[in-house]
Structure 1
Amino acid sequence: MASSDGLSETLHAVTRIKLAELDKQKKSYEVAKNTLISNADVEVDSRERVRLLADGAEKLPTMTSLKDNPILSLKNLKRFTTQAERDPSVSEAFLADYEKAIRDELSVQSNKYAFATLYGQLVNEWISVGKAPDNESAADWIPVGRDEMHKQRATWEGYVFTAKETDTAAIKSYLEDLFTNSSSKEVRARFQELKRKISLKQENWDSSPFTAHVVSQCIRTILRGDVLTDKKRSTLKDFLGNDIVLNEIADVLNMRMASRASFVWEGISTVEQRRQLNGRYRFYPDEDLLQNIFLQYIGLEWSTVWKNALIGFSFNQGVLKTPSGGPTEEETRRRNLALELEPVDYKSWATSKQSRRRHGRTALEKNLREHWKDEIFLDQLPQTRFEQRGGYNAGDKDGDTRKSPLWVIQKLLHRVQALIMIQRRLGKDMTVIRSDFKWFGPSLPHSSIFAVLEFFGFNEEWLQFFQKILEVPSLFIDDAPGTEPRNRKRGTPIGVPIASFFGEALLFCLDFAVNQKADGARLYRLHDDIWLWGGVDTCVSGWSALTEFTEVMGLELNETKTGCAHITSNSAATPAKLPAGLPSGDVVWGFLKLDPISGTFIINKEKVDLHIEELTLQLKACKSVFDFTQAWNIYGARYFTTNCGRIANSMSSEFLDSMLETFQRIQQRVFGATTTGGVGAHLKQMITDKFGVADIPDGYLYFPIKMGGLELQNPFINLYLVRDRLSADPKELMDKFFEEEETQYENAKKRFQSRKDARPAKLKDVEFPTFEEYTAHREYDSSELAEVFEKLMDEPVIDEIDVRGEVKEALGHTKAGRSGWTSYEKWIFQLYAKEMIRLFGGLNIVEEGLLPMGLMDMLKQSRFKWQG
């Protein structure tokens, strides 16, 4: 259920007042309406009856003023009624229609009040369920994953409370071979510069960095994560609005920073075990808020310093190796002379975007290199101290200054898919490896962390400070009274910047090792989620470097998430045999699996079915309508959609149809294959059983909360919005590329030959390349191939719903107007508008100001507590 811990009593009180006022208005309206109708019913004269209804309706205490009704004009009706006194053209049939319009409008207002009352009942139900003791509903709850919960806790404790002493001498020797004893003088020189930067930062560390502004910025970054309980989140939000409190906090934290050398962990770190939708449990620390803000700042500061220092080190010319396979200098020179092009160093990290615009050429290899530099390299570390970035599970948010990790990994999948498609059409094989580390955060040996930091120049004072915040006394929130806390001896806490700093300090060494030992390969690593692709030899060398690092640092690879696919250029009927030196297993992410035969991602139905079972149990555990809606939106719609992947042009309409079939199967399995209506029909029945309200319109379920709806999500709609824009066969883009490439070659050859006599003497002997030479290094010198890649990477343009007629008119009278709605919302409006306008006189079920929107915003923002 949605947690109500963070909902203030003030908000509850305001909600109660609003709902009580709404109920009072409803009763007043119904009494006045019934009196008006009774008086009208006894009037025999039709003209007088219509006039009576029009005059009376205008004075009723309606939810929305009938004078402002865009569909029904009472003023006009009264004028037409006066006209009918003498004008025979205004017939009895006309008057009957006018009378029906007024009576329908009176019913519309009753409908609005009825569903406003229902809304109040749903809110009160949710509040009461949220405040009920857990044991009240225990009898109805089927334990989900309870055995797994205990098993995972035991595993976590086995890592965290048991030290693993790694061979620090071996780690030092390994790092020396990589950096200080490198065969590259550029690496050796730049590494010394890197150590000087770290040393300089320690010497000049600001011992009084906190101001009210810095404290508030730290709080905002904390609130972006999901570590805190709702109650503590509410407390921090209260801090933001109080400069006196912020300044007092800043003073205390500056005192703490000045005495950093004698820092002592205050209190106990309480651990809360929370179930994630993927079935894993995470172990969140619950600590003192001042200590939380203090460590947030230190983590953010070191993270940004570390990232900037490593960028400065890595992207200096000659430090990172570039992949082999590109054209030689002589081949490039001859091509540029023949095609009359200015030279561009495609292998240089330093080639500027301005330079590429000037030359008008961006090759595929350059695209890949810059993507790795800008979006993949040290992805977990912030680019600026207080950047606004959503968490992995949160997706992108308004005000973000950087794309979320979820967006980055989804686009990485698009990249893999597009590259496979291109490589196969170019007649090349491609190998893809995916892996991650087993229990990476909890299993990180402290000795390995300190060995790496010491090697990079961190002094003893900072190493001791880091040890104090890593080896904190901890207790589980549900431990029995009197349980003695235990000091952590391994691993890092989850969801805090200092943990990202420690993790990236180690894993940067892996990135660098793979690059140096695998012929310039780029390891696509997001936290500990690892992707590596390219030729077979490159992947074998890269995998060897990865396993060597794993052993030296005392880590373990996760076999269940480790896999390799070798995709050949021919369309074989069976998967290619993996060369020696590569891992076995499938390449998977979420509900996707890379098919080595087709070279495309497909949906893993077995894994989907496991989550369908879990979704069913979670929905059954919901005790309120709002909880059910929230659980469906998060799990049944968002989670399944996310794990099936975002749609890109590299995916065919056949893949999208498989997603639609998946969502159809989810509804059939959860709500019964023989019933119609799916989740909507189930929710309607749930409301009817609880509150006795029948004939609930579909629009009420799916319309936005701010319009009085429940905002139930429909995962089909966003797929249908792009379905007609996808190609049945994305490979057609490569067919077109080959045709245009041949034409461009012939045109360039004719142009070269036509200028033969006009060329300078030193160019007289230059021969135009053969077609094989012209196309030998497309990845390095064809901007057209790069354009094909970008088109395959792009997400299809939404095919906007055509809003017309009364729906268009009704949207114009909503608060957001006609253009302030998403394509998804417009589809919802158009789909259900006819019934909603009939029942409610427009698209607003209840006027926004009458709803407890503050409470509903808190509902959507509060952490959902999954059962089991």
Structure 2
Amino acid sequence: MGSSDTLTETLHTVTGIKIPELRRQKQAYEHAKQSLLEKAQNEADSRKRVQLLLDGSEELPGIKDLRSHPLFNIDHLWLFVEQARFDPSISEQVLADYENTVRNQLDAETAKYDFTELYGDLVKEWTSSNNANATESESGFAALGHEDMHQQRAALEEYVFNAKETDTAAINAYLDEIFTNNLSKEVVSAFERLRSQIKDFQTNWDRSSHFEAEVVTRCIKNILDNGVISDSKRSALRGFLENEIVIGEIADAMSIRMAARNSFALDGPTIIEQRRQLNGRCLFYPDEDLLQMIFLQYIGAKWAIELKRALTEFTFADGVLKSASGKLSKQALRRRQFFLGKGPALQRHSVEYQNHNTWRADIFLDQLPDGAGYDWMDDEDKPEYGYEESNLPKNPRNAQQLLHRIQAYLIVRRKLKMDTAVIRSDFKWFGPSLPHSSIFAVLRYFGVQEEWIHLFKKVLEAPITFKHDAPDSAPRVQKRGTPVGTRLTTFFGEAVLFCVDFAVNQKTNGAKLWRMQDDFWLWGDTEVCSKGWDTLTKFSHVMGLEIDEEKTGSCQILAEGSDEQANANANLPSGDLVWGLIKLDTASGEFVVNQAKVDVYIEALDLRLKASNSIFDFVLAWNLYGCRFFLQNRRWVDVSTTRQQTHELLETLRRIQSRVFPLSNGSVELHLKRMIQDRFGVSDIPDGFLYYPPVLGGLGLENPFIYLNLLIHSTAERSEKFLETFFENEEKEYCSRKQIFEELGRSNGSSGQTVDSDVSGDNPEKNQSRRAAGGFPEPIGDWADLQDEPFMSFEEFVQHREVTSSALGMEYASLFAEQYQPEIKIVKELAVGIDYRSQAEARTRWNNYEKWVIQLYAKEMGARFGGLFAIKKGLLPAGLIKMLLESRLTWKN
């Protein structure tokens, strides 16, 4: 039984124990309350009646906390009533208000008992009907996707059990072209060093003591963090971590196995389990021997670290990676140096400089871990290559940041009146489809020796069975694709895909392939993207990979007056450029909601909600599919988002709910209230009970409209004045530099700039005047061809802004500024009402979304329950409910 199943069973049992006690207390309270109200009914004097209710309320069971209640102070009310005993200024109307206050509070306690009982019934329904594997979070919905699951398994088997032999000679020739036969001597030299490093790594392997107890511990923790093993294996590994003797024995066994690695053999077949994910697709998870898993995890991590180190040193060695400054010809660069006194063409903080730094820090080989002592196991929970087929990127958060960058880049380029092309594509079933022959060809080319190739071959050719097959099903040998969920998987995949990263850079003279696993993006000038696409298609052909046409598309955003026919002939992939529920619009150059995809999403959402077996199932399904899934699979609202785009998202949300809840006027809360009334006979349910967090006794239903409305006030209509100040300053800078150049030229007796002792530093006054304008003395050299040239034109001055302008880069950076959200403040009375401690503590407990929800429904909840808590404390296992809700809200993909 899995840990979530155990928690479900425990919650079911504890709730079953507590509900009878809840009903006993409710019955006792209602009996005493009714007796008190009957006594009050027989008292004609209004003051005495209020006094009777006040005194009697303190004796009611379950209402002992009225004296400390922040919204209802019985001590104060008693004093006011005592005043009325002699003071004629206390009118009958005031006494009637006091009486209503007491009666309302008594009724509020009744409401708390009623809704605590309802909450208990909802929990019982949930835990009774939903004991399925919580990892899937699918309940009855799983049955709806069996056909799709069978199709995906059939596709997987078609890949992994059928070898695809690629042409090793053609692969070597391809790699020779970009590495050892590269026209750049720096590339050839750096690649020789790379091979030497890989060789030294293998030579020194046995000089290290690999399996200390701490290393075993870190291996186990890393496997646990990957989330790809079964609950039973997870429990076993956690048991290992709690026993130092076991860890020591494992370390000894691993050391023996490492010494005999040349005769390594798998311990048995790998059992593959197919699990449904939130997007309706499936992942395939391995279940193999734990000691073998630890052994291969260590080897994979060591090789992955070494590969990243070697490839990083190679790529960023001087002269290896082509820069975007390559857009400038040598003569153009000379002219800028002569006229402007500029140093390096690629200026700090320029657009290209920032993109390069982000690419290097966040994109380049990001699947491979960095190594620093034992820190090589401290990963950031990044997804790994696995057997999956999905229409969504593997890492939504990184993809959203990438989309933000593309959108910002397009905004700048459109203002500069420049054409821009964007390509997005993917390799179809990359993990399962990667030919073993291609893996071995690349590894050998990088210098991996045959003893390691022999071991890797055994790992790649593992016998496989499927968990739900008949017990007597014979294992089949994997003949294609990488193993599932191990660090070796990323090692194999990144080794092959690095080759296309580097090839695109070389063939396009400096472009970067923005790749997350096998999902890749390329943008820039149309010609650059065309060459990049040629490179990608050639790579896929040589390596035996297939471009996924469903995920492939491009978009050209043309500047006003561009030659549409010329751009139409560019070699770019066909198809819309889509991601999740959005697509890039050619006309506006902005990401817009992909309404066709939304229609598909609506159908899936409707099926999932209808398959819910309980009210809590429905709430969780809505939170995951109707709220979080939608918000994850459209671009986050950011600084570069217009208010119009945000309104489009809000309108799309309204359309989704109108389609899914047609009988409830498009309202999820009305639909949920009807469900509760039909199943439990409870009506007149306050909205706050649905939306308040469970810690306040609510169901925790999430509202995506609130998430977007929190941000809408921080967005604005796209200002037509964006870059206006930049353009003005740019013209001023041009005029200033031109004036200085011409004045220096006249002082030297010519219209041009002479390179003499003035330039080399013997004339400090003239050098200082150049520096004051932001320029620098040009380097010493032969400038005879430029001596009589007039100062460069303005068009030449601004031609390569993305590379040469730090000022433009700062404007570009402003589009990535941290997004402002208006702080939602909880008023003092509510803050104390939420948390019976101090106001400051209460305020810091809640995020903006929760504060919004709490205050939106505070008046309704206060009137109904006499405060903000909808249920009686201690009568339900709130801690267990919170744990189970959180466990089933975990979104692995």
TM bucket (normalised to shorter chain) is: 0.7 to 0.9
How does the TM-score come out when normalised to structure 1?
0.88
Q: What's the counterpart of residue 379 of structure 1?
A: 366
Q: How many angstroms does 1:715 deviate by?
A: 1.2
CA contact (8 A) 1:536 1:579 kept: no
Stretches of structure 1 lacking an aligned partner (at least 5 in a row): 348-360, 394-402
Identity %: 48
1:307 partner amino acid: K
Does 2:863 correspond to 1:838? Answer: yes
Cα distance 1:640–1:865, how it changes in 2: closer, same or farther (>3 A)?
Answer: closer
1:363 partner amino acid: S
SS at match of 1:728: coil
Q: What's the counterpart of residue 790 of structure 1?
A: 813
In terms of mean alpha carbon deviation, does 221-230 or 587-596 score higher?
221-230
Does 2:306 correspond to 1:305? Answer: yes
Cα distance 1:225–1:298, how it changes in 2: closer, same or farther (>3 A)?
Answer: same
Q: How many angstroms does 1:522 deviate by?
A: 0.9
Q: What's the counterpart of residue 356 of structure 2?
A: 369
Q: How many angstroms does 1:586 deviate by?
A: 1.7
Q: What's the counterpart of residue 656 of structure 1?
A: 646
Q: Higher Cα Rg: structure 1 or 2?
A: 2
CA contact (8 A) 2:4 2:133 kept: no
Q: What's the counterpart of residue 799 of structure 1?
A: 822
Q: What's the counterpart of residue 434 of structure 2?
A: 444
Q: 5 Å matches for 1:596-611?
A: 596-611=586-601
Q: What's the counterpart of residue 718 of structure 2?
A: 729
Per-residue CA deviation, residues 139-185 of structure 1 (Å, 9 max, x unaligned), is: 98795344333222211101011111222222223223322333322
Q: What's the counterpart of residue 320 of structure 1?
A: 321
CA contact (8 A) 1:730 1:792 kept: no
Per-residue CA deviation, residues 277-300 of structure 1 (Å, 9 max, x unaligned), is: 444332222334444344333333
CA contact (8 A) 1:647 1:795 kept: no
In terms of mean alpha carbon deviation, does 365-374 or 689-698 score higher?
689-698
Q: How many angstroms does 1:439 deviate by?
A: 1.1
Cα distance 1:428–1:573, how it changes in 2: closer, same or farther (>3 A)?
Answer: closer
Cα distance 1:595–1:258, how it changes in 2: closer, same or farther (>3 A)?
Answer: same
Q: 5 Å matches for 1:610-629?
A: 610-629=600-619
Give me the whole-angstrom Cα distance separating, in 2, the residues matched to 1:244 and 1:63: 54
1:319 partner amino acid: V
2:810 partner amino acid: E
Per-residue CA deviation, residues 590-611 of structure 1 (Å, 9 max, x unaligned), is: 1222222222222211111011
Q: How many angstroms does 1:19 deviate by?
A: 5.1
Q: How many angstroms does 1:462 deviate by?
A: 2.3
Per-residue CA deviation, residues 446-469 of structure 1 (Å, 9 max, x unaligned), is: 111122112222223322222222
CA contact (8 A) 2:527 2:570 kept: no
Per-residue CA deviation, residues 833-863 of structure 1 (Å, 9 max, x unaligned), is: 1111212233232477654323432343248
CA contact (8 A) 2:11 2:127 kept: no
Query: RMSD of aligned C-alpha atoms?
Result: 3.6
Q: How many angstroms does 1:249 deviate by?
A: 4.8
Q: How many angstroms does 1:518 deviate by?
A: 1.9
In terms of mean alpha carbon deviation, does 203-212 or 47-56 score higher?
203-212
Q: How many angstroms does 1:495 deviate by?
A: 3.7
Give me the whole-angstrom Cα distance separating, in 1, the residues matched to 2:200 and 2:49: 90
How does the TM-score come out when normalised to structure 2?
0.85
CA contact (8 A) 1:435 1:531 kept: yes
Cα distance 1:133–1:558, how it changes in 2: closer, same or farther (>3 A)?
Answer: closer
Give me the whole-angstrom Cα distance separating, in 2, the residues matched to 1:237 and 1:122: 33
Q: How many angstroms does 1:205 deviate by?
A: 3.7
Cα distance 1:482–1:581, how it changes in 2: closer, same or farther (>3 A)?
Answer: same
Q: What's the counterpart of residue 358 of structure 1?
A: none
Give me the whole-angstrom Cα distance separating, in 2, the residues matched to 1:848 and 1:787: 54
Q: What's the counterpart of residue 144 of structure 2?
A: 144
Q: What's the counterpart of residue 266 of structure 1?
A: 267
Cα distance 1:222–1:694, how it changes in 2: closer, same or farther (>3 A)?
Answer: farther
2:152 partner amino acid: Q
Q: Of residues 810, 829, 848 in structure 1, which corresponds to 2:833?
A: 810
Q: What's the counterpart of residue 698 of structure 2?
A: 709
Q: Of residues 372, 380, 383 in structure 2, which corresponds to 1:389?
A: 380
Does 2:68 correspond to 1:77? Answer: no
Give me the whole-angstrom Cα distance separating, in 2, the residues matched to 1:237 and 1:25: 42
Cα distance 1:50–1:592, how it changes in 2: closer, same or farther (>3 A)?
Answer: same
Q: 5 Å matches for 1:633-644?
A: 633-644=623-634
Cα distance 1:333–1:658, how it changes in 2: closer, same or farther (>3 A)?
Answer: same
2:856 partner amino acid: L
CA contact (8 A) 1:3 1:865 kept: no
Does 2:811 correspond to 1:821? Answer: no
Q: What's the counterpart of residue 697 of structure 1?
A: 686
Does 2:288 correspond to 1:287? Answer: yes
SS at match of 2:411: helix
In terms of mean alpha carbon deviation, does 634-643 or 208-217 score higher?
208-217
Q: 5 Å matches for 1:50-61?
A: 50-61=50-61
SS at match of 1:818: helix
Per-residue CA deviation, residues 44-96 of structure 1 (Å, 9 max, x unaligned), is: 44444433433443344437722221111122222233333333333333333
Q: What's the counterpart of residue 350 of structure 1?
A: none
Per-residue CA deviation, residues 639-675 of structure 1 (Å, 9 max, x unaligned), is: 1222221122333222222211211111011111x53
Q: Of residues 676, 697, 709 in structure 2, which corresponds to 1:720?
A: 709
CA contact (8 A) 2:139 2:612 kept: no
Cα distance 1:404–1:217, how it changes in 2: closer, same or farther (>3 A)?
Answer: farther
Q: Of residues 791, 802, 809 in structure 2, which corresponds to 1:779?
A: 802
SS at match of 2:144: coil
Cα distance 1:835–1:510, how it changes in 2: closer, same or farther (>3 A)?
Answer: same
Does 2:167 correspond to 1:178? Answer: no
Q: What's the counterpart of residue 201 of structure 2?
A: 201
Per-residue CA deviation, residues 665-703 of structure 1 (Å, 9 max, x unaligned), is: 11011111x533621111111122222221111111111
SS at match of 2:464: strand
Cα distance 1:336–1:111, how it changes in 2: closer, same or farther (>3 A)?
Answer: farther
Cα distance 1:423–1:631, how it changes in 2: closer, same or farther (>3 A)?
Answer: same
2:808 partner amino acid: L
Does 2:492 correspond to 1:491? Answer: no
In terms of mean alpha carbon deviation, does 383-392 or 473-482 score higher?
383-392
CA contact (8 A) 1:435 1:557 kept: yes
Give me the whole-angstrom Cα distance separating, in 2, the residues matched to 1:229 and 1:250: 23
Q: How many angstroms does 1:316 deviate by?
A: 1.1
2:262 partner amino acid: A
2:626 partner amino acid: G
Q: How many angstroms does 1:43 deviate by?
A: 4.1
Q: How many angstroms does 1:726 deviate by?
A: 1.9
1:680 partner amino acid: E
CA contact (8 A) 2:299 2:488 kept: yes
Give me the whole-angstrom Cα distance separating, in 2, the residues matched to 1:404 and 1:436: 11
Q: What's the counterpart of residue 511 of structure 1?
A: 501
Aligned length: 838
Stretches of structure 2 lacking an aligned partner (at least 5 in a row): 385-392, 748-762, 771-786
CA contact (8 A) 1:434 1:562 kept: yes
Does 2:124 correspond to 1:98? Answer: no
Q: 5 Å matches for 1:207-226?
A: 209-210=210-211, 213-226=214-227
1:129 partner amino acid: S
CA contact (8 A) 1:633 1:712 kept: yes
In terms of mean alpha carbon deviation, does 177-186 or 223-232 score higher?
223-232
In terms of mean alpha carbon deviation, does 199-208 or 105-114 score higher?
199-208
Per-residue CA deviation, residues 379-419 of structure 1 (Å, 9 max, x unaligned), is: 222335233534569xxxxxxxxx99322211111211222
Give me the whole-angstrom Cα distance separating, in 1, the residues matched to 2:59 and 2:197: 76
CA contact (8 A) 1:12 1:855 kept: no
Does 2:520 correspond to 1:530? Answer: yes
SS at match of 1:733: coil
Cα distance 1:695–1:210, how it changes in 2: closer, same or farther (>3 A)?
Answer: farther
2:316 partner amino acid: F
